[in-house]
A and B are shown apart, each in its own frame.
Chain A
Amino acid sequence: AQSVTQLDSQVPVFEEAPVELRCNYSSSVSVYLFWYVQYPNQGLQLLLKYLSGSTLVKGINGFEAEFNKSQTSFHLRKPSVHISDTAEYFCAVARDDKIIFGKGTRLHILP
């Protein structure tokens, strides 16, 4: 069965600094991977997705993620964060026609 692990429950980072949010998945078959963002008291919004093709995926708001099959990872990165990036970020994987989510990483932007 596929599962998703987000190792960090919270990540503090200074404004304009780079950030990486880690995600590892377990799977023995082809994967579809996603990153979502959730702002307070709202639903989730798709940041980016990997279905096939280039392993470097660019998303909205300047985020990107790299699919690494050998390390079974799909880490999310942004070169310079802004205060508006304060939110919770969820990694997800498709499994048996369903989307399974990690437990989320809360990104705190420090002034």
Chain B
Amino acid sequence: SQTIHQWPATLVQPVGSPLSLECTVEGTSNPNLYWYRQAAGRGLQLLFYSVGIGQISSEVPQNLSASRPQDRQFILSSKKLLLSDSGFYLCAWSIRPNSPLHFGNGTRLTVT
């Protein structure tokens, strides 16, 4: 069966520090991969999605970037965190576009 791993579960980082959140999927090949951010009362905001290795689409211009160095690995990064980057970050995968998403357990990021 397929599983998705996302880490760390919680993270506290100072303003201006770098960020790297990692997500891996097991049990499937060539998944579509997604990064969402969840802020209180604002639902889920799609940040990035990828349909293949090295293919990244950005939904919202911001202080973050994403990379897909391997088929089932998706990384969210920042060179310098801002206070506004605080939130709950969720990685997800699907077998094809428009298919249901399968989510990781999320990372709670607090920028201080």
Q: Interface residues, chain A, CB within 8 Å of chain B?
A: 6, 9, 32, 34, 36, 41-46, 49, 90, 94, 97-104
Contact = CB atoms under 8 A, between A and B. Distances in A.
A34 B43 contact: no
B41 A9 contact: yes
Given A41-B106, A41-B108, A42-B106, A102 B101 contact: no
Given A32-B98, A44-B92, 18 more contacts: A9-B41, A34-B101, A41-B108, A42-B106, A43-B103, A43-B106, A44-B44, A44-B90, A44-B103, A45-B103, A46-B100, A49-B100, A94-B97, A94-B98, A97-B97, A98-B46, A98-B59, A101-B44
> Which bracket fits the contact residues of B?
20 to 34
B74 interface: no
A32 B99 CA distance: 8
Contacts of B51: 97
Nearest to B90: A43
B27 to A, nearest CB: 17
Interface in B40-94: 41-44, 46, 49, 51, 59, 90, 92, 94
Contact of A98 (B49, B90, B105, B106): B49
